[in-house]
Structure 1
Amino acid sequence: MSPETDQPADSGAKTGTDKTRDHFNRLTKGFPALMADTAACIRFFSRLPLPKVNAQDDPAAAPDFARISRAAPIAGVAVALPAAGLGMLLGYTALPVLAIAALIVVMLAVTTGALHEDGLSDVADGFFGGSTPQKRLEIMKDSRIGAFGALALVLSVVLKIALLAELWQRFDPADAALLLLGGEAASRAFIVWQWQQHPLARPDGLAARFGKPDKTCVRQAFLFTVPFLLPAAFLLSLPGFLLACLLPAALAFGIGQLADQKIGGVSGDILGAIQQICALGFLLGMLMVP
């Protein structure tokens, strides 16, 4: 008998059980790294105190967004959980939905330190208050808020309160909270997408110092967003779900293109503005149809 025929039948190829075991092993080995990346994103994008989560997590290390940005949607959900939980609990009380929506917006700003709102106001001031790319970047770097930035903040807050009030009016509070979390996850995925798609406007900015996501990070970010969108897929009509996904995507793309024209790329402020506008776009899309 030849040596080849003397080998076991399954020695040259893995069985289905072996392949499943390999997939599971890769998943379990990668889970601690994903937890560490999520923790790093939460610390950077919020004011939530978070201790070391595992051996791969180093709270003192500078964030490496070339790797950890993939976890931005998961971190977005974690950061929005206090606001969603508050809204769910208050939804079962006799409080008016406008009051509930206002408190949700306040809680979202508290947990993030109004980081993304600050980016939105800076972009509005810079884009509409400067005449050259350099001047726009200087205005965006200025910590003072101008008329355009103030107007953008007021409009975004008023619109978000109105949309959240309608969301809590139209759906059960628990379902409304899940839909809110889906929008927060999706808005972070769109950040990662546009971050990867465009050059960096500031060579010395935070985005340049802490790395930039690649296409693999973008794919993973959208993959991690899918579970958080499942409630929307079941709770919304098909047109509502499609609009909730497509409208923020179009808005993110448009902001990226505008940023290229205005300042030659993206910056931290642009990414914050994308998050705010895409979160609004998600709410707008789902509520446009019955």
Structure 2
Amino acid sequence: MRASSSLLIDLLICLRFLTRIPFPALAAETAPQSLSGFSRALRMVPAAGALLGALSAGALVSASALGLPPLLAAPLAIAVLAALSGAMHEDGLADCADGFGGGATRERKLEIMADSRIGAFGAVALALALYIRIAAVASIAAHSLALAVTALIGAAAVSRAAALIPLAVLPPARTKGAGFSAGRPRSSALAVAAALAALFAGAPLIAGADPSKSALAFAACAGAGFAFSDLARRQIGGQTGDVAGATQQIAEALFYLIFAATV
């Protein structure tokens, strides 16, 4: 299989994993609905994230072109991200907040996280995360629409790469679920993902951003990945899909905040 074909297949695997879009299978794919190849395919997670960020940015530009102010355009951009993934990452954040905050034992924390209902901790975490992301994007867009567009693309790519960190450094906390099914990432795939994430972290440079801010945003997202992994290790002894989702949400918010601070 040629390298270009392999990368395209890996990109499709990542897009199917990260979104609810029913991408058709290519002729070269043997098991398009399986996660068996995800440990290698995850190298394209940042590229898949960048595509999702571009769709979100398109919503922001369209809303702005219709005359909506940033405070109304930004929620639409964030809504597109949530809709594309089926709010998978937001659900992970809420579940982790409820489990980590409401459970007294590891078993009870995991039980709470598996519950589809949202408790007080989850509701507060979800509300704060949505507010911070929307307000930060609106603040950036009020200063520069181009900067907001590139920040959405960069944040979507880098934050999803950061979500791979728990999968890489922690064992699965359960013997089922997305965190278990995804498997431990290959080191070579992680290296490619990290390089792509660093590349997409520089997207705001196109809009004239300070290079040090892109470097800081990349470092903050990576730091969030390792910090939340350590918290998950102490709370439940490993990683789950919810842990990866919560990591993504925290990293995305940090990326926006760093560029909002430059405004």
- Give the alignment's TM-score, normalised by structure 1: 0.84
- Distance of aligned partners of 1:54 and 1:77 in 2 relative to their CA distance in 1, 3 Å threshold: farther
- Distance of aligned partners of 1:144 and 1:54 in 2 relative to their CA distance in 1, 3 Å threshold: same
Shift of 1:215: 1.6
Structure 2 CA distance for aligned equivalents of residues 248 and 230 of structure 1: 13
Counterpart residue type for residue 183 of structure 2: G
Per the alignment, residue 90 of structure 1 pairs with 63
Shift of 1:231: 2.4
Dislocated runs of 4+, deviation >3 Å:
60-63
Structure 2 CA distance for aligned equivalents of residues 176 and 126 of structure 1: 33
Per the alignment, residue 43 of structure 1 pairs with 16
CA contact (8 A) 1:240 1:287 kept: no
Shift of 1:57: 6.4
1:172-205 CA deviation, whole Å, 9 max, x = no partner?
x344212211111001111123311112111233
Structure 1 CA distance for aligned equivalents of residues 141 and 184 of structure 2: 37
CA contact (8 A) 2:53 2:154 kept: no
1:3-40 CA deviation, whole Å, 9 max, x = no partner?
xxxxxxxxxxxxxxxxxxxxxxxxx9212111111101
Per the alignment, residue 202 of structure 1 pairs with 174
State, as a whole percentage, how many aligned pairs show the same letter.
35
The answer to whether residue 190 in structure 2 is matched with residue 190 in structure 1 is: no
Q: How does 1:115-194 map to 2 (within 5 A)?
A: 115-171=88-144, 173-194=145-166
Q: Aligned-residue CA RMSD in angstroms?
A: 1.8
1:64-111 CA deviation, whole Å, 9 max, x = no partner?
321111111111122333211111222234211110011111111111
CA contact (8 A) 1:65 1:212 kept: no
Structure 2 CA distance for aligned equivalents of residues 74 and 244 of structure 1: 17
CA contact (8 A) 1:40 1:63 kept: no
Counterpart residue type for residue 179 of structure 1: A
Counterpart residue type for residue 246 of structure 2: A
Shift of 1:58: 4.1
Equivalent residue for 2:199, pick from 220, 224, 227 = 227
CA contact (8 A) 1:255 1:274 kept: yes
- Give the alignment's TM-score, normalised by structure 2: 0.93
Shift of 1:157: 0.6
Q: Which deviates the most, 229-238 or 92-101?
A: 229-238
Shift of 1:43: 1.0
CA contact (8 A) 2:150 2:203 kept: yes
Per the alignment, residue 103 of structure 1 pairs with 76
Counterpart residue type for residue 39 of structure 1: L
Unaligned ranges ≥5, structure 1: 1-27
What is the count of residue pairs matched by the alignment?
A: 262
Equivalent residue for 1:287, pick from 245, 260, 263 = 260
Structure 1 CA distance for aligned equivalents of residues 87 and 224 of structure 2: 21
Counterpart residue type for residue 21 of structure 2: L
Unaligned ranges ≥5, structure 2: none
